[in-house]
Each structure stands twice: as C-alpha cells, then as structure tokens.
Amino acid sequence: MLKEFRDFISKGNVMDLAVGIIIGTAFSAIVTSLVKDIIMPPIGLLINRINFSNLYINLSAKHYASLAQASAAGAPTINYGTFINNVIDFLIIAFVIFLIVRQINKLKKPAPVAPVTTKACPHCLSAIPLAATRCAYCTSPLDENQEAAVSH
C-alpha cells in the first residue's frame, strides 16, 4: 500500500497539480491586492467616495458607525462590500486564466491529418484501397469516371 501511495504521489500529474495550486494561491493574493488596493479605490471615489470593503448591512438593533465597530462588538452583519470585492477578484482571475489557456492552445500544434488511403465502392459502399480497380467485396469493376462522381 505504501508503494502504491508513493507511486501515486510521484506521478507527474499530482506534482503538476500541487505546483498549480501553490502558484494559484500566490496569484490570488496578488489579484486580491490589485482589486482591494488599486482598482476599488478609484471606483469608490467615482461613486461618492465609497469604500466597498466597509459596505455592510447591520442585522442587530444597535447602530454602528463602521463595519470594524460592528465586528468588534460581535454584531451580526452581511458584508456585501467584501462580497463585491471577491466577485471582482474572481472575474479578474478567471479572465487571466482564460488568456493563459488561450495562449497555450495557440501554441499547441494541430494533430496531423491522416492521409486518405481508401475510397468507397460505388456499388456496395465498402471501403477499398485507392488504387483498387475491382471491389474486393462485391467484385464490381471500378470505373474512374464513376468513382469521381461518387466521391464528390
């Protein structure tokens, strides 16, 4: 069982997945900072100096001046500003991943097209070699003019 586990862990796909998760986590932190510190402040400034991370709905009867005060008091809140920031984070990460996958797909070479080696018999529609002059299945003679009419 330990050998099977070691073989599983040492497979390339598992290692690639681990590296991808680590890089993705680091990338997520960068994008979160980009959204929180660079993108959202100008947007908040444009819409009446709103700080999205402070947008919340207070579910308690007591009034709090800020989300920090409500959180410190242990008041139940719905933090929809944080949700908006997270949605923007997700959209940016998804768009960057889309661009990366798109570039990788462009770099991949298309699969080679297999050369055509057979044709259909005009009488029985069986696959026969291109150079055949008689069908191996129905033994009909193959006329080149008739063959051209069938293949188009």
The whole-number pLDDT of residue 144 equals: 63
Enclosing H/E stretch for 27:
helix 12-33
Q: What is the pTM (predicted TM-score) of this model?
A: 0.54
> Domain range holding 50?
2-107
Whether residues 40 and 80 share a domain: the answer is yes
Q: In tens digits, what is the pLDDT along the chain, a chain of 152 residues?
A: 888 877 777 776 777 788 889 988 888 888 888 888 888 888 888 888 777 888 999 999 999 998 999 999 999 999 999 898 888 888 888 888 888 888 888 888 787 888 888 999 988 999 999 888 889 889 888 876 544 444 43
Task: Tell me if 81 is assigned to some domain.
Answer: yes
Whether residues 92 and 61 share a domain: the answer is yes
Whether residues 93 and 122 share a domain: the answer is no
Q: Kindly report the backbone phi and psi dihedral angles of residue 118, in degrees, each rounded to the nearest multiple of 5, phi listed first.
A: -130, 165
The bridge status of strand 118-120 relative to strand 77-78 is unpaired
Whether residues 65 and 126 share a domain: the answer is no
CA distances to 1, 80, 97 from 15, rounded to whole Å, are 20, 37, 19
Cα 96 to chain centroid distance, Å, stands at 10
Enclosing H/E stretch for 72:
helix 67-73
The whole-number pLDDT of residue 147 equals: 44
Task: Tell me if 113 is assigned to some domain.
Answer: no
The whole-number pLDDT of residue 60 equals: 93
Whether residues 56 and 86 share a domain: the answer is yes
Count of structural domains within the chain: 2
Residue type, 134: R
Whether residues 62 and 131 share a domain: the answer is no
Task: Compute the distance between CA of residue 39 and CA of residue 79 in angstroms, rounded to an integer.
Answer: 19
Whether residues 91 and 129 share a domain: the answer is no
What's 64's domain CATH number? Answer: 1.10.1200.120
The whole-number pLDDT of residue 27 equals: 85
8 Å CB contact between 53 and 85: yes
